[in-house]
Chain A
Amino acid sequence: GIQVEQSPPDLILQEGANSTLRCNFSDSVNNLQWFHQNPWGQLINLFYIPSGTKQNGRLSATTVATERYSLLYISSSQTTDSGVYFCAVVIPGTASKLTFGTGTRLQVTL
Chain B
Amino acid sequence: DGGITQSPKYLFRKEGQNVTLSCEQNLNHDAMYWYRQDPGQGLRLIYYSQIVNDFQKGDIAEGYSVSREKKESFPLTVTSAQKNPTAFYLCASTDQPGPVPSEQYFGPGTRLTVT
Contacts and interface: CB of A to CB of B under 8 A. Distances in A.
Interface size class of A (residues with CB under 8 A): 20 to 34
Contacts, number: 67
Contacts of A30: 99-101
A43 B90 contact: yes
Interface residues of B, number: 30
B-side binding surface: helix, strand, loop or mixed? strand
A41 B45 contact: no
17 contacts: A40-B108, A41-B88, A86-B43, A88-B42, A88-B43, A92-B99, A95-B50, A96-B31, A96-B104, A97-B33, A97-B48, A98-B45, A98-B92, A98-B104, A100-B35, A102-B41, A102-B42
A97 B45 contact: yes
B100 A95 contact: no
Interface string A5-39: 00000000000000000000000001101010000
Which of B37, B42, B43 is packed against the most chain A CB atoms within 10 Å? Answer: B42
B109 interface: yes
